[in-house]
Structures are given as C-alpha cells and as structure tokens.
Structure 1
Amino acid sequence: LGDTAFFYHSNIGKAVVGIVKVVREAYPDPTADAGPWVCVDMQAVRSLPRPVTLAEIKADPALADMALVRLSRLSVGPVGDAEWRYILALAKRAAPAQADRTRSR
C-alpha cells in the first residue's frame, strides 16, 4: 500500500506515460473467470512530461537488464531505483528522432 509504479500503455503506443500509487491492497480480480488472479487499485499521481516509448527503453544500453526489456508479455514487473530515475530523466528530454523503431532482441 502506497507503493509507486509507472503507468505503461501496453497496447497501442507502448510507452511509460505516468506515475501511479497503490491505494488498495491485492484482492481477487472480479473480472477473472477462474484462477488465482488478483488486482490492486491504483491512483494517478502525475503524467510524465512526455511518454518514454518501449522502443527507447529497448534501444538504451543503460536499461538492457530491465525486466520490461528482458521478458516478453510482461504486465507487472520490478523497476529498480536506478531504472526509475533514468526513465524519469528520459521523460524530461526531447524524444529521439527514431524512438518508434523497436530493436529486435
């Protein structure tokens, strides 16, 4: 409760777009058909100055070990303190000219 997280658009326009915080602890997901699915309630904290795209994240060697880069089909994953600060710094810079191209891994 109270943890902060990045809000990530995982479908169209794959990008980190904001910061949210957990406002309710895990509880059974009411939309799940079956299984041990849980969810948490989040509250928007703020938008980033600009989206940081998945392509940018994948292309940056400083983020090569980030779970979002290493694991496909990731919906929830850890973000280290250094990764957190780095992505926030990227969001304050101008977008790279070719940020929409994803480097294959």
Structure 2
Amino acid sequence: MFVGNVRNINELEIKAPGVVNAFKKTLIGPGEGWEGWVMRLFTLKDKGNTPRHAHPWPHINYVLSGKGILYLEGDEHALTEGSVAYVPSGAGHQFICTGDEDLVFICIVPQEGDK
C-alpha cells in the first residue's frame, strides 16, 4: 500500500538530446507496489518539449493543466486540460508546451519505459 502527495515527490530535470525544459516526478511504480507499471508526472515549462521519438512500449497520457501539442505519427493534436491520449508501441511522438503556463500531464508506461 502507498499513499503520498505529489508535493513531496522529488522532481528531476530531464537531460537528453532534444529535450527542453522538461521535468519528471515518478508517482507510483514498483517501489510503491505497482509491479510492471509506472505512473509519472511530466511538466513542460516555458515552451518546453520532449524530443520526437519512438520506443517499443505504449503509454497513456492525461493532461492536468496547460496547453500544448502532441505530434503523433505525423499528425498534430491540440492538448488542453482534460485531454487524454494513447500512444501505441513504436509510434513516433512529441509533446510541446505552447501556452503561457506549464503543460502538466500524467504518463503511464510499462516499467521498461521508465529507465
């Protein structure tokens, strides 16, 4: 069993090629008892973005706040509070913050996707 508060979870800046102003908190995963899966909180600050990339695992996303774009397999999708997205395994994708406030979203992946 695990009960916590997002305010008490360390935020890590993501440092990788193509990443701009992106931060991650690992909310729940194997360390909290959820074997095989990880729920993360991403914040893209000040026009931040993830790189355009693909990987062999899917992920599920839920936007908590902000505005942005999800490029998915060459198509552009507007993101706002309440948006949901499923990115299949192997699909090229990128998240971009386009608003004046941070784009904050939950991302759930298999454990292998959170290395």
Same fold per TM (> 0.5)?
no
| Greater C-alpha radius of gyration | 1
TM-score (norm 2): 0.24
TM-score normalised to structure 1 length: 0.26
- The structure with the greater share of residues assigned to strand is 2
Structure (1/2) with the larger helix percentage? 1
RCO comparison, higher one (Cα < 8 Å, 6+) = 2
